[in-house]
Structure 1
Amino acid sequence: MRPEFIESFREALDSVSRERRYLSLLEAPPLEATKDFVMGLLEKGNPQFVALVGDKVVGWCDIQRGTRETQSHRGTLGMGIVDGYREQGLGKRLITTTLDAARAMGLHRVDLDVHADNTRAARLYEKVGFQREGVARDAVLIDGHYIDLIKMAIIF
């Protein structure tokens, strides 16, 4: 990730969010908030990678390290792939690159939440070494439908 990709990243995040299926966001935050998020990750050295087609972001993966001293050994992963670019191996390349960077920075644990009905993503996470740790029942409400979240983590 580089600062010049922030607007395109926000557009990709917004596109995936508005599908109302994969993320627990219904739309991307405003551009300024997105800039603050990205620049905060970059300034702290958190792993953050994007997949580009030309100069257009079509996928991303980031890990935000815990801010408290007692949780600085762990990070939380977020990722998404824009519709039309899924099922091409892009997600696996993004997540393995990001996990390698997390290992290199000394993280011990990375966790994530995945919508229980997003079986494709859950399979990907398991393929790269994540294990299921539990389920948060009815944790997300989108369009009047409750969705369970699967809690997953990988330990290095």
Structure 2
Amino acid sequence: MIVMPEPYIRVAVADDEEELATLDRATWSTLHAVAPLPQGPFFDERHLPEDYLVAEAAGRVVGYIRIARPTRLASNAHVLQIQGIAVADEARGQGVGRALIRAAVEEARGRGARRLTLRVLGHNAPARALYESEGFAVEGVQPEEFLIDGAYVDDVLMGRRL
């Protein structure tokens, strides 16, 4: 394992698209993904650069986290949701994911959110443990919500107050 320097977290820019798309494809797994392997552009009308925080270490992108509104309803505008996180294989276990989650919490606070939520697959024990250690609690479970690789998997809803 290569020891990475402390990650620098920043908002994504359009020029990050190729690196983020490569990272997204490299880290895709049925442990955390319900959609097929991503193809096409990383950014589009629903996934804007400003929705992403990027972790850089040693001059390259080693992770990202996406924060967006879960709905377009005005009555739900006080809630933001983590809608994706990825960490490069060589940067795993070195605090990049934790740094991204903490940055997402601060970003959500800065945007005036009162709550930050997320959805995680029930079989993704490492991610669930990380989220719990950062103050997220299970708020609901949709049993057997997805059929992945021939097995039914729960959709776990987690959240925390800001």
Calculate the TM-score normalised by the size of structure 2.
0.82
Quote the residue 1:13 is aligned against: 24
1:145 aligned to 2:154? no
Tell me the secondary structure at the aligned position of residue 35 of structure 1.
Answer: coil
Aligned equivalent of 1:24: 34
Tell me if 1:69 matches 2:80: no
Structure 1's 55 and 30: CA in aligned 2 closer, same or farther, altered over 3 A?
Answer: farther
Task: Judge conservation of contact 1:5–1:55 (CA < 8 Å) in 2.
Answer: no
**Counterpart for residue 93 of structure 1:** 99
Task: Tell me which protein shows more helix as a share of its residues.
Answer: 1
Once residues 144 and 55 of structure 1 are traced to their aligned partners in structure 2, the CA distance between those partners, rounded to angstroms, is 40
Give the count of matched residue pairs. Answer: 148
Q: State the partner residue of 2:134.
A: 128
Distance of 1:100 and 1:29 partners within structure 2 = 31
> Offset of 1:132 from its aligned partner?
0.6
Separation in 2, partners of 1:22, 1:9: 17
2:32 alignment partner, SS class:
coil
Once superposed, what is the RMSD of the aligned Cα atoms?
1.7
Q: Give the 3-state SS of the residue equivalent to 2:61 in structure 1.
A: strand
Which of structure 1's runs of 4+ aligned residues deviate more than 3 A?
Answer: 53-56
- Say which structure, 1 or 2, has more relative contact order (CA 8 Å, 6+ apart): 2
